[in-house]
Each structure stands twice: as C-alpha cells, then as structure tokens.
Amino acid sequence: MKKKTLFLQLVLTASLLFSTVSYAADVNSNRDIPVGGSGQIEMVGTIEPTILSVTMPTFVPFNISSSLSTQNKVISPRIRMKNNSNIPVRVDVSYTKVDLGKLNNVTWSNTGTVNDNQIAIGLKQEETKDEMPTSLSQARWLKANQTQDMNVLILNANQEGALYVVGTLGQNVTDNGTFNVTPTFVVSKTSTTN
C-alpha cells in the first residue's frame, strides 16, 4: 500500500514537473519576458510613403494692355493652388518658355524693369482675395527660356493659396500682338511652413 502511494506521488510529482516545463516553453514562445531575465522582441516598422497630392493649373492665360491705368498692366485670372497633402509643399517655377516671335522688335526683361521695346511678366502672391494686384511690388519675375527654380508659393498641409500674373510693357510695344509665356510649376515637399 505504501509502495503504491509512493508510486502515485512520484507520478504526480513528475507530471507536475513536466507540466511546468511545458508551460514555461509555451510562455517563452509567446515572447513574454521573465522578470529579471532577458528576451528579444522583433519590432517591425513600416515606413509609410509620403504622398504629395496637389491641385494646380497646367495652363495660365492672361492679357496685357497698356491701356490699364494701374502699374500692373496684366489682366490675370486667379491662379488657385491647393495642397491636398498632409505635408507642407512649396511651388516653384522651374522654367519659362517665352515666344515673342509674333511681336516685332520686342524683347523680354528678366528683371521687371522695361525699356520702350520690352515686356516683363511675373507672378505675385494674392494679397486680397479675388483682387488683381495693381502694383508690381513683391512680384517674382519670370526669366525667359532658362531654368530658374523660383519659389512663388508655400502651402501648409491642406491649405489653398493663389497667385496672379503681373507685368508691364514699354511704350513702343503694340497692344494688338500676341505672345506665349509658358511657365512650368513644380511642387515639392518642404519643411518650411507658411
């Protein structure tokens, strides 16, 4: 009887021992860290791509006329630009294609200062909503047929902004000619905020 009891005690002890070991193994596989012990946790980080999302024009029509009484001689639409991203973006003019071929004896000014036979066209940030600029102060002037990288606008996340075309022309430039100015806007992410 005593032998039988001893045998049962041994079996019980052995089973408890193995169950503890198996429990420990199971704990270890779940990667819990025992108190005072050491362990390794695999931390998987995923870098989400930064998506740049904007709404902007691909074509900017405008009229220029010496008959306007203001310093700015351009009739410009409101050039709306919307940053739909969650990051701030900057808008630059990277290049401006200029064709004055249909105008006789007219040249381009890169600086905004014109002589009698010159035209200068630039961009200006909106100061008052829906109002065309009357002056040429703070205008950024487009350089003809060369790379420029000229910043014209900074937009915070989900912000909308606007620009206007501005310009002037010399007194010998006739009003009835046409010419083409094609700026290429390039948008990029920036750390600078507006």
Interaction site with another protein (CB under 8 A): 49-63, 65, 67-68, 75-80, 82, 84, 94, 132, 175, 182, 184-189
Q: Which is nearer to another protein, 13 or 94 (CB)?
A: 94
> Residue 36 Cβ, how far from another protein at the closest point, in Å?
41
Name the phi and psi angles at 104, rounded to 5.
-80, 135
Q: Which is nearer to another protein, 29 or 69 (CB)?
A: 69
Q: How far apart are CA 150 and CA 142, in angstroms?
A: 8
CB 157, CB 86: distance < 8 Å: yes
For residue 96, which amino acid is it? T
> Residue 51 Cβ, how far from another protein at the closest point, in Å?
5
Q: Which is nearer to another protein, 120 or 183 (CB)?
A: 183
What residue has token string 């973006």? 89
> Residue 156 Cβ, how far from another protein at the closest point, in Å?
16
What residue has token string 């001893």? 6
Start-end of H helices in 117-176: none
For residue 170, which amino acid is it? G
> Residue 111 Cβ, how far from another protein at the closest point, in Å?
25
Q: Which is nearer to another protein, 37 or 133 (CB)?
A: 133
What residue has token string 């390039």? 186
Q: Which is nearer to another protein, 30 or 50 (CB)?
A: 50
What residue has token string 């487009």? 142
> Residue 44 Cβ, how far from another protein at the closest point, in Å?
17
CB 79, CB 160: distance < 8 Å: no
> Residue 22 Cβ, how far from another protein at the closest point, in Å?
43
Q: How far apart are CA 145 and CA 110, in angstroms?
A: 10
Per the DSSP assignment, residues forming a β-bridge with 81 are: 161
Q: Which is nearer to another protein, 76 or 109 (CB)?
A: 76
